[in-house]
Amino acid sequence: MAHPLLVRAAQCIEQARALNDEFPDKSKMPAEVTKKIDALLGEASKSKAQVEREAKMTDLDNYLAAPNYKHDMGADGGSGTESGGMSVEQIGGVYTTDKQRKEAKRKAFLDYVRKGGAHMSHERKADLVEDTEGQVLVPADFVGTILRELPRDAVIRNLATVRPTSSNKMDIGVVNVAAAGWGKLETGTTAADGLAADPADKDTIEVFDLNALVKIGVDELDDADDDLEAVISQALSLKIAEMEDDAFASGNGTSQPQGLSVAATITQGVAGAAGETVAGDELKRTIFSVPAQFRRKANAAWLYHTSAEEKIALLKDADGRYLLQPNTAEGEPDMLMGYRAYTVDGLPAITTTVDGAGAGTDKSIMFGDLRQGYMIADRRRLTVTRLTERYAEEGKLGLLFRHRVGGGVIRPKAFAWYKL
């Protein structure tokens, strides 16, 4: 049986809708009718809010009656936190909130960085979390801070599709429209249905380990928690961003993520006719080497190595204006032929290498839609190993972080290369 307040709310909405429908031209609706509709909607909202309050109180009563105090205090049935992040858990006879547990893990991690596990108190060490290999897991909040910083420093991660994963391999279903056709029943012409076509392909993106070493001076270990956390986070995010961009651009796909410039499935592009010389017409042709849906200006972009950027920066149109235009908005990329342009030094540099026809072979310039064409599989967890003696002579402590991430081209037609 429906709650009486919800029944009343439904009646109010029905009355309000009936009044509203009486006036197709809303500009002619009398003021008193408008006020009546608003009053009815207000009453319906109050009834709904009261039902939600009663449901929340019931959930809290049930929670407090549970013997183990391990249920979520929120009324959302399993999100893990209430709107204020205040789920309560009983550990060792002491009730703690989410915020208190997160802070305890953070302090335990920073204590581990400073002292190592052997010199930590039993209580503090109990807040450390280890994986199956005995490596210390970096607290989730700390990892989240680093990953939020990465898009500011990393180009490809900020443009591609990023999906979290909890496994070592992500299955990617590439859906293809096998066949389509027109027909007319009256003339006996049957439209193609695609039933005899091959099924959609299935591919995977493997997750690889990226090890990043952060060396910290022993004097900095005495800094306040916030200062030490900031030092580690900034150094780590910059290093991971650099290593990721290099791999996403030119990774071999076997021991690291698959890079754009080495993906054999990207077969379309333009080979420069004059070796190391960038030509405006060839740049324009590169744009039209990808289908229309992948060259929309809101999504498509240029990626190029610094050696290519230098040559592009010198190109001018017939009126003497440079083709590469700086963006006046702070933090925004330059514009090339109406598209965003980014420097990615992980792409191959321009060299004198040529193919049998005398054209360049280095894919120093790429164009396309990374959002639709490239996917990053993010394991979203970090582990850390403390290296105490290796860098002692330098007066530093080594922290070896392991980041797990993969990447690969999922739609080759979304990209085109320009070989120089």
User: Where are the chain's structural domains?
Assistant: 4-65, 98-128, 136-168+210-420, 169-206
Q: Where are the alpha helices (H) located in 83-223, listed in sequence order?
A: 98-115, 122-126, 140-153, 156-159
Q: What is the pLDDT of residue 197?
A: 52
Q: Is 213 exposed, middle or buried (0-12, 13-18, 19+ CB in 10 A)?
A: middle
User: What is the secondary structure of 33-59 as a DSSP string?
Assistant: HHHHHHHHHHHHHHHHHHHHHHHHHHH
Please enumerate in sequence order all residues whose Cβ is within 8 A of that of 117, keeping only pairs 6 or more positions apart, or say none.
125, 128, 136, 386
Dump pLDDT digits (tens) for 105-158.
878 888 888 877 776 777 666 666 666 666 777 777 677 777 776 666 688 988
Please give the structure tokens belonging to residue 394.
């330098």
Distance of CA 342 to the CA centre of its chain: 18
Number of H helices, E strands in the chain: 10, 16
CA atoms of 373 and 411, how far apart (whole Å): 4
> Is this prediction's pTM over 0.75?
no
Q: What is the pLDDT of residue 86?
A: 46
CA atoms of 122 and 133, how far apart (whole Å): 21
Q: What is the pLDDT of residue 173?
A: 62
- Listed residue (419, 414, 418) closest to 159, CA to CA: 414
Residue 42's alpha-carbon distances to 13, 21, 82, in angstroms, are 10, 18, 26
Q: What is the pLDDT of residue 93?
A: 47
Rg of the chain over CA atoms, in angstroms?
30
Let me know: does 248 contact 259? Beta carbons within 8 Å: yes
CA atoms of 401 and 215, how far apart (whole Å): 11
Q: Please give the helix or strand (H or E) that residue 94 lies within, else none.
A: strand 94-97
Dump pLDDT digits (tens) for 356-381.
544 557 899 999 999 999 999 888 77
Q: What is the pLDDT of residue 126?
A: 67
CA atoms within 13 A on the CB side of 175: 1
CA atoms within 13 A on the CB side of 133: 7
Residue with tokens 């004097």: 219
Residue ranges of the chain with per-residue pLDDT less than 70: 1-2, 61-98, 119, 123-134, 141, 149-153, 173-180, 185-202, 274-275, 352-360
Distance of CA 224 to the CA centre of its chain: 31
Q: What is the pLDDT of residue 81?
A: 41
DSSP 414: G
Please enumerate in sequence order all residues whose Cβ is within 8 A of that of 159, keeping only pairs 6 or more positions apart, or say none.
301, 342, 370, 371, 374
Let me know: does 228 contact 377? Beta carbons within 8 Å: no
Residue with tokens 């070493």: 213
CA atoms of 71 and 78, how far apart (whole Å): 8
Please give the structure tokens belonging to residue 172.
């990617």
Residue with tokens 């009044």: 19
